[in-house]
Amino acid sequence: MEKKLAVVALGGNALLRGYQIGTIKEQEKNAEDTLRNLMFLLKGGYDLIISHGNGPQVGNILMRNDAGEQVYNIAQMPLDVCVADSQGGIGYMLERVLRNLLNQYKIDREIVTLVTIVEVDIEDEAFKNPRKRVGKIYTKKEADKLTADKGWMFKEEIKEKLSGWRRVVPSPVPKRVLNSHVIESMARQGTIVIAVGGGGVPVYFDKHGNLQSAEAVIDKDSASSVLASKIGADEFYVLTDVPFVYLNYKKENQETKEFLNYSDTKKYLEQRMFGEGSMAPKIKSCLNFIEKGGSMAVITEATKLDNKNYGTKITKEYTK
Amino acid sequence: MEKKLAVVALGGNALLRGYQIGTIKEQEKNAEDTLRNLMFLLKGGYDLIISHGNGPQVGNILMRNDAGEQVYNIAQMPLDVCVADSQGGIGYMLERVLRNLLNQYKIDREIVTLVTIVEVDIEDEAFKNPRKRVGKIYTKKEADKLTADKGWMFKEEIKEKLSGWRRVVPSPVPKRVLNSHVIESMARQGTIVIAVGGGGVPVYFDKHGNLQSAEAVIDKDSASSVLASKIGADEFYVLTDVPFVYLNYKKENQETKEFLNYSDTKKYLEQRMFGEGSMAPKIKSCLNFIEKGGSMAVITEATKLDNKNYGTKITKEYTK
């Protein structure tokens, strides 16, 4: 029998917690706590692909670009290059931490980290209505100047301590993970592949068939789901900051769901019973995966993956 | 007959020229001009691995880190993460430009970009005597504070306009390119592999067998040569900013060398007839490659690779 193939998407929380300032030591410790959870998959003989978010990291890279121009007049890099930078830095850190865990658990597997490009559709509605907030908070005057100079779009951001204007970029639907064939081939040979970091670097094909960079970001769960379906993965894990999926989260009638089937989940989603900006997109990614033939999607807390008492298991039909 | 395998190392000049400020448009144009040169290898049916330098880019990333801390109090990333960031950004840019060239030349090949870790020896003499200058120029006072706070080492830098103190880091000899087996396997299947960016992210194994990051940088020609030898590449190309290797470069008795054999080259090297900080390390990398069984090493200008009238060809014995 062919070995099972799992795609595990690490959330931002798996690398950087909200209350932390983001030193490399903090990120390494979080990565280790999270990746240690994956050992049971490897011990179970799974082939494994790991993807990861990059929200806090690419936010920092964008702000360093801004600061670098201010202080040293260094040319800023566009968003696609910043996303690619973050794939390099985070991917390397994950690979090194994972290599040490494999050494500790005496598991003999190769690990490679791929810089991953993901195709989007330039006609995607998201390009007409950018919504994803990235980078620093600007004053109205600064924001107006950047709109004039670079065509950036802004939305007002109201926070406790700091309010102002924040750049918004499109978050289009991922169509295709480039190199999915290579990723699949390596993973099926037993190599652990770290890929699709930050949802991938977004590009589109122009009418001449040339790849152009898109000033956008892609949801990493969505891109990971596209990859998982394309390569026929068996299981899809979404690691986040809650141990279960809840209906009516944080409301009086909150209900924990440990098992969900496809049709009920779809119904709850349509009834908007999952958090719109947070849990709903994860649920959608899981449903897409099940719809295209995946056998199980799991949403759980980053450090609770190997504890079977936690985690919401989504399958086509109820298994329990 | 097995197809020939070439490793091409792109110099800093192939991506960013000294007189340019380093916008992404400039870097893309330079990358295109350089990569267009490689089409003849692909048309000739070669398997291909591309490595690249990262000097100007990682310098900018280090300065952005410094500026980001000054302006926004964002935690700085250590040198290894900055090198990995640069592998992501540069690798992505090269991959995208190369994909468009393949489209233009109607060549059907996959391209993958790997984040690459390279093992060094923590007992390497370089760690006792750091010499490679990186990042911004500091005042004496700033440098002293950084030495006290972070243990950084500095050397005085005297330039025309701006003088001061510059951080120096070790540049140890690369021992092993991690994942060389995977790189070889993909390349031998016809996939173009972009790897060993910036010479690789330097790490060492501690006494427990764990990978620790080294605050160092690795010479990219040297690391590329180690890879090329390990995987039995046939040809090794070093792309730089001069079309030939010269004896006594820029001196009265300068002599152009289009063909060199192993023993003469070794003799010239021992006689210090190549520029110590510039051409000599490239020559050493080529000699190591030939010594370990490579059939030809070529040093030439970034945009003249496909012009057989240029380039110094180093072989074991003279062929002409």
Judging contacts by C-beta atoms under 8 Å, the chain A residues touching residue B71 are 63, 66-67, 70-71
User: Which has more confidence, A96 or B59?
Assistant: A96
| Closest chain A CA to residue B191 | A182
The answer to whether residue B112 is domain-embedded is: yes
pLDDT (average), residues B96-105: 97
CB contact under 8 A, B87 and A86: no
Q: A 47-86 residues with CB below 8 A of B?
A: 60-61, 63-68, 70-72, 74-75, 77-78, 80-82, 84-86
Judging contacts by C-beta atoms under 8 Å, the chain A residues touching residue B100 are 210-211
Residue A319 has pLDDT above 90, yes or no: no
Cα separation, B36 vs B31, in Å, equals 8
CB contact under 8 A, A100 and B210: yes
User: Which has more confidence, A22 or B191?
Assistant: B191
pLDDT (average), residues B182-204: 97
Give the per-residue pLDDT at A191. 97
Q: Which residues contact A187 (CB under 8 A, 6 or more apart)?
A: A5, A47, A48, A49, A193, A231
Give the per-residue pLDDT at A163. 84
Residue B232 has pLDDT above 80, yes or no: yes
Q: Which residues contact B243 (CB under 8 A, 6 or more apart)?
A: B300, B301, B304, B310, B311
Q: For B211, which of A89, A99, A112 is closest by C-beta distance? A: A99
pLDDT (average), residues B133-141: 88
Give catalytic residues of A, as residue numbers.
Answer: 12-13, 132, 220, 282
Query: For residue range B271-303, what is the model confidence (pLDDT) as tens digits?
Result: 999 988 789 999 999 999 999 999 999 999 988
Query: For residue range B302-315, what is the model confidence (pLDDT) as tens digits?
Result: 889 889 899 999 99
Residue A19 has pLDDT above 80, yes or no: no
Residue A162 has pLDDT above 70, yes or no: yes
> How distant is the Cα of A270 from the closest Cα of chain B, in angstroms?
38
Instruction: Please report which confidence band the pLDDT of residue A137 belongs to, taking 50, 70 and 90 as the band edges.
Output: confident
Instruction: Please report which confidence band the pLDDT of residue B319 belongs to, taking 50, 70 and 90 as the band edges.
Output: confident
Judging contacts by C-beta atoms under 8 Å, the chain A residues touching residue B111 are 179
For residue A191, what is the domain's CATH number?
Answer: 3.40.1160.10
A201 Cβ under 8 Å from any chain B Cβ: yes
The answer to whether residue A95 is domain-embedded is: yes
The answer to whether residue B60 is domain-embedded is: yes
Residue B320 has pLDDT above 70, yes or no: no
Give the per-residue pLDDT at B137. 85
CB contact under 8 A, A68 and B67: yes
User: Which has more confidence, B276 or B85?
Assistant: B85
Give the length of chain B.
320
pLDDT (average), residues B81-109: 97
Weakest-pLDDT range from A170-179, B141-150, B189-198, B281-290: B141-150
Structure tokens at B137: 């120029």
Give the per-residue pLDDT at A1. 58
Q: For B67, which of A22, A70, A104 is closest by C-beta distance? A: A70
Give the per-residue pLDDT at B1. 58
Q: Count of domains in chain B? A: 1
Residue B136 has pLDDT above 90, yes or no: no
Give the per-residue pLDDT at B162. 74
- Mean confidence (pLDDT) of chain B: 94
Q: Is A209 left (phi over 0), alpha (psi -120 to 50) or beta?
A: left
Cα separation, B283 vs B295, in Å, equals 15
> How distant is the Cα of A70 from the closest Cα of chain B, in angstroms?
8
Angle of CA points B259, B173, B286, to nearest 5°: 10
- Mean confidence (pLDDT) of chain A: 94
CB contact under 8 A, A74 and B63: yes
Helix, strand or coil, per DSSP, at residue B268: helix
> Has this prediction a pTM greater than 0.90?
yes
Cα separation, A69 vs B28, in Å, equals 20
Judging contacts by C-beta atoms under 8 Å, the chain B residues touching residue A208 are 103
Percentage of chain B exceeding pLDDT 90: 84
In order, the DSSP letters of A104-148 are HTT----EEEEE-EEEE-TT-GGGTS--EEEEEEEPHHHHHHHHH
Strand order in the sheet with A117-120: A174-177, A117-120, A201-205, A211-213
Helix, strand or coil, per DSSP, at residue A26: helix
Name the residue range of residue B41's domain: 5-120+180-315
Judging contacts by C-beta atoms under 8 Å, the chain B residues touching residue A80 are 92
Judging contacts by C-beta atoms under 8 Å, the chain B residues touching residue A100 are 210-211
Query: For residue range A204-218, what is the model confidence (pLDDT) as tens digits?
Result: 999 999 999 999 999
The answer to whether residue A196 is domain-embedded is: yes
CB contact under 8 A, A182 and B112: yes
The answer to whether residue A52 is domain-embedded is: yes
Percentage of chain B exceeding pLDDT 70: 99
The answer to whether residue A165 is domain-embedded is: no
Q: How many Cβ contacts (< 8 angstroms) between chains A and B?
A: 171
B93 Cβ under 8 Å from any chain A Cβ: yes
- Are the C-beta atoms of residues B300 and B251 closer than 8 Å to each other? no
Query: For residue range A264-296, what is the model confidence (pLDDT) as tens digits?
Result: 999 999 999 998 878 999 999 999 999 999 999
The answer to whether residue A131 is domain-embedded is: no
> How distant is the Cα of B65 from the closest Cα of chain A, in angstroms?
6
B213 Cβ under 8 Å from any chain A Cβ: yes
The answer to whether residue B191 is domain-embedded is: yes
Residue A150 has pLDDT above 90, yes or no: no
Give the per-residue pLDDT at A94. 97
Which of A115, A196, A204, A212 has the highest number of chain B CBs within 10 A, making it the mutation to test binding with B? Answer: A115
Query: For residue range B203-217, what is the model confidence (pLDDT) as tens digits?
Result: 999 999 999 999 999
Give catalytic residues of B, as residue numbers.
Answer: 12-13, 132, 220, 282
Cα separation, B8 vs A307, in Å, equals 47
Judging contacts by C-beta atoms under 8 Å, the chain B residues touching residue A79 are none
Q: A 97-116 residues with CB below 8 A of B?
A: 99-100, 103-104, 110-115
Give the per-residue pLDDT at A320. 58
Q: For A91, which of B71, B115, B209 is closest by C-beta distance? A: B115
Alpha-carbon B260 to chain mean position = 22
CB contact under 8 A, B182 and A201: no
